[in-house]
Chains A and B, each alone.
Chain A
Amino acid sequence: MRVEAKLLLGLGLFFGLMCAVYWNWSLENAGGVMMFAAMLLGFLPGGYYYFWSRRMRARPEDDPNATAAQGAGVVGTFPGTSIWPFTLGMGAFFTVLALVFGIWLLIPGLGLVGWAAIGGVSESRRGGRV
């Protein structure tokens, strides 16, 4: 986790310095704000990873001498197949088309989004289907 944390913290630091130079020199706010936000995107997750990297043992993927057996075991839960991403995508599609062709398209749009939200969540709870 060390390298990951340092990468993000380093980027945050660089953006912070760049932001300070730019904002003070140009006095232009839009770019200054956006650079400041970029700095936060480096520091927030970077700080979180740094915090944890000091408290946990090196994972097998961080250990240069790890054997494949060391990583054996459950990696994670992976869904097999699922219809809900497609449903959600279609909902988003209709929602965006509502911006152009008329507000009535929000009915199928948000309807599908809601259906997919419920379906997707309960699928994860049950442990999946299909």
Chain B
Amino acid sequence: MTDLLERPAAAEHPEPAEQHGPTGLLKWLTTTDHKVIGLSYTITSVMMLVIGGALAELIRAQLTSPNNTLVSFAQYNELFTMHGSVMIYLFAGPFAFGGLANIIVPIQIGAPDMAFPRLNALSYWLYLTGSITMLLGFFTAGGAANFGWVAYAPLSNSLNTPGAGADLWIGGLLLTGFSAIFTGVNLVATIFYLRAPGMTMFRMPIFTWNLLVTAILILLAFPVLTAGLIMLYADRHFGTHIFSVAGGGVPVLWQHIFWFWGHPEVYILALPFFGMATEIFATFSKKPVFGYKGMVFATITIAALSLGVWAHHMFTTGVVLLPFFSIMSLLIAVPTGIKIFNWIGTMWRGQLWFSTAMLMAIGFLVTFLIGGLTGIYLASPPLDFFTHDTYFVVAHFHSVVMALVLAGMGGLYYWGPKVTGYMLNERIGKAQFWFLFIGTQVFTLPMYALGLDGMPRRMAVYPHDPQWKALNDVASLGALLIGLSTVLFVVNLVVSWKKYPAGDNPWDAQTLEWFTTSPPPHHNFYRLPAIRSERPTWDYNHPEHRALGHGTREESH
């Protein structure tokens, strides 16, 4: 059935449009509803988080003693490659722009669905099959891919890494790459063309703004990766020599292509989670976002600069323009600092409510600050020469990605009730937060020390040294705590299953998605409020405290 969709006028309460569609498996296979697709994305990507986490626990178990024989060297290579790949390609991105964004962005701007619903469904199927393709490597004779998540040439050529695992890795990334590109197209078109009347660009919630910028970054970066993968496959099987010196090619070209995608990818991952944290800070401080326009500007600046920093991952190759990439990388600290300032400003003198979501967002802020500050060290070539490929780098980016996990969990606790209609248990949620937050610091901080002491990354064994063993054991303990936090999350899902009905706006939140029912009906809204500021739901519920323009503080009563 094709719906010629009419947008409801303000005062009407039309009868809920009953949906006479297929149910069960057929519904899942044929749906084009962005909420169902987004939920499929969320569930699949959380499963990937669990798989990637299990691989990480194995890595940490291996490193609890210097000459452990839990896994072989070859298996260890597969472990860290697939851990990194699953987490980056199959969890973090799809969770953010495929899962939560897919569900929330259309509702935040008053749209009935994504602009291209069938393309949206295709994105999900490409993501699912791409994930399966990559993981199939574990079931082949030669094992899964083992050249690191960056697949550097010449290690990734057919002589050094023969076998199906590597090709499955390439094939899986082709599929998920197209999936991401289609989602990018969909998000841009939705945000440009399907906003509700009065929802001007500068009234969109920060989460939606960040996803618009993320989507543009996807369109800039992912085609480069896809092209690179095709070249890599051609080198491996069709006898081309694009990345091999033997035939006149240039191995470093792979690094240029990979990181021209790879650094923007860092922000493709981060910006959606920044957006989640921003919404959570505003809601649980009962204040508008502080410095709204500054926040938007910072997001755009970060994205623009992120296209000019890729070779900070290549400082030690000796063939890149050090001053250019160093300056550009350091410049990113400025808009990032603005964001941190504005997050604190949003909470400043607010009525703080320390819900699980809020705790997760604060945990994100602290952890991200650690990751961001250590990143500034790495942007300086002399310091990077010293720490490149040591555990210092591993610690740096785990501070960052674990901060994203914290924000993402916050997002699930915050928007979960909107999507499902039911709340999660707050006590278990808070316990989960403390395990996750403390575990993250216990896991990353020792790795900084190990890195400065010279421990290289991607090694299954290390020299006998009581101090190194102790630090590694502490890091592994932290990993265990993180693992337990995930168990608590699953426990919470089971315990809270359909137990605590949420109501439309359980947090007294401000943005448009909280105006509709939980879960929202087919095509999202029965009626729309007048949109006169960036927080229409708040204006509707608190007419005596209407918006006072961007960033102005409400007088409390």
Residues in chain A within 8 A of chain B (CB atoms): 3-4, 7-8, 10-11, 14-15, 18, 21-22, 25-26, 28, 30-31, 34-35, 38, 41, 49, 60-86, 88-90, 92-93, 96-97, 99-101, 120, 127-130
Contact = CB atoms under 8 A, between A and B. Distances in A.
B211 to A, nearest CB: 14
B117 interface: yes
Interface string B433-451: 0000000000000000000
Nearest to B199: A61
B194 A75 contact: yes
Contacts of B530: 67-68
Nearest to B37: A85
B544 interface: no
A78 B171 contact: no
A96 B174 contact: yes
A22 B321 contact: yes
Given A3-B202, A96-B175, A78 B2 contact: yes
B167 A99 contact: yes
Interface string B294-312: 0000001001100110110
B260 A34 contact: yes
A100 B168 contact: yes
B549 to A, nearest CB: 12
A123 B30 CA distance: 13
Interface of B: 1-10, 21-22, 27, 29-32, 112-113, 115, 117-119, 121-122, 124-126, 128-130, 132-133, 164, 167-168, 170-172, 174-175, 178, 192, 194-203, 216, 219-220, 224, 233, 237, 253, 256-257, 260, 300, 303-304, 307-308, 310-311, 319-321, 324, 523, 527-532
Given A74-B4, A128-B2, 16 more contacts: A4-B192, A26-B324, A30-B253, A61-B196, A68-B10, A68-B529, A72-B6, A76-B5, A80-B1, A82-B32, A89-B125, A92-B126, A96-B130, A100-B167, A101-B164, A127-B2
Given A30-B253, A92-B175, A15 B8 contact: no
Q: What 10 A-B pairs have minimum CB-CB distances, sorted nearest first?
A: A89-B125, A71-B197, A60-B197, A128-B2, A80-B1, A85-B121, A66-B197, A93-B129, A68-B10, A61-B195
Contact of A35 (B112, B128, B307): B307
B125 A88 contact: yes
Nearest to A41: B220
A75 B319 CA distance: 53
Contact of A81 (B30, B167, B260): B30
A89 B115 CA distance: 19
A86 B308 contact: no
Contacts of B233: 99
B534 to A, nearest CB: 11
A72 B112 CA distance: 12
Given A67-B10, A75-B112, A88-B125, A81 B198 contact: no
A96 B133 CA distance: 8
24 contacts: A3-B201, A26-B320, A34-B256, A49-B192, A64-B532, A68-B198, A72-B8, A74-B5, A75-B5, A77-B4, A78-B2, A79-B32, A80-B1, A81-B22, A81-B32, A89-B122, A89-B128, A92-B125, A92-B129, A93-B132, A96-B130, A97-B133, A101-B164, A127-B2
